[in-house]
Structure 1
Amino acid sequence: MLPPNHVWIHDARLSDAIVCFPIKRNMYGKIFGGFLMRKAVELAWSNASLFSGNRCRICGVDDIMFRKSVDVGSILLLSSQVEFTFPFSYFFLN
């Protein structure tokens, strides 16, 4: 049994598979890092938005490290999961 306001971790996951086409390569013939970062952020945003039931706002992204270059033709398996949330609201004033 879960305590109130808790969910199983597998219910807070989202995955995606991406084929790396030559159009996204950099001058070294590898997949452009900006494309990889964009895909990771899009998946994280989608997961947070689906989990919360609202459109989320990305406040920041820190410390991205590329461990290995990605070859053209590779299939990337990306995954995202919500680990912790807390009640918080933004109020926008004009």
Structure 2
Amino acid sequence: MFKTTEESQITISQLMLPSNSNFSGKIHGGFILSMMDQIAFACASKHSRNYCVTASVNKVDFLNPIEVGELVTLKASINYTGKTSMVIGVRIESENIQTGEKKHCNSSYFTMVAKDENGKNVRVPGIILDTPDKVRRFARSIARQEQAKNRTTAFRKSEFKMELYIDSLKGQNVKMALPDTI
């Protein structure tokens, strides 16, 4: 079974309140992360028609601060489907409701896994790629998965080769104090 990405897209907007702010008066990053996880869950669950759990979150960069009183809009869409997993792209924009100025605040990718009522992984519908942008997002998700595998393998304790990375430490805020026996 295959579905269009539009069938499971979710958009939510919420006014940012003082109770969601941090000590500097900006909206707390943890609050935004929670909202992102909720919309990724909703999108994945809508697509799979099953309960979903977050398996991983890929790169969360806070590009612009969100102010109290701004309207935050989160958009979620399926970018990739595997057998039991989905990559959900989440985009966050804030809007100053007095001036109408909009800012892109964050984009991130959540890998969600569909579960049945017994907590077992369950197969998800595929997606229909009907635009070049959807093909790009799907291919980018595959590339991100490959990069993650390579990162994990290269830095596994049993595989790590320190001599390959010593030069990259030069100029960093670090002091090498390794025993001579290494």
TM-score range, shorter chain: 0.7 to 0.9
Q: Distance in 2 between matches of 1:51 and 1:7?
A: 8
The residue aligned with 2:78 is: 82
Identity of aligned residues (%): 23
Q: Normalised by the size of structure 2, how large is the TM-score?
A: 0.45
Describe the superposition over 1:29-88 as per-residue Cα deviations: whole angstroms up to 9, x where unpaired: 110010011101110011101110100111111210000000000100110001221223
**Where do 5+ consecutive residues of structure 2 fail to align?**
85-113, 122-182
Describe the shift of the 1:84–1:62 C-alpha distance in structure 2 as closer, same or farther (beyond 3 A): closer
**Secondary structure of the residue that 1:83 maps to in structure 2?**
strand
Bigger-Rg structure (1/2): 2
Q: State the aligned residue count.
A: 88
- The one-letter code of the counterpart of 2:27 is I
Structure that is richer in strand per residue = 2
Q: Does 1:30 align with 2:30?
A: no
Whole-angstrom distance in 1 between the partners of 2:8 and 2:53:
18
- TM-score, normalised to structure 1, is 0.84
- Give the number of the structure with larger relative contact order, counting CA–CA contacts within 8 Å between residues 6 or more apart: 1
- CA RMSD in angstroms, aligned pairs only: 1.8
1:46 maps to which of 42, 55, 60: 42
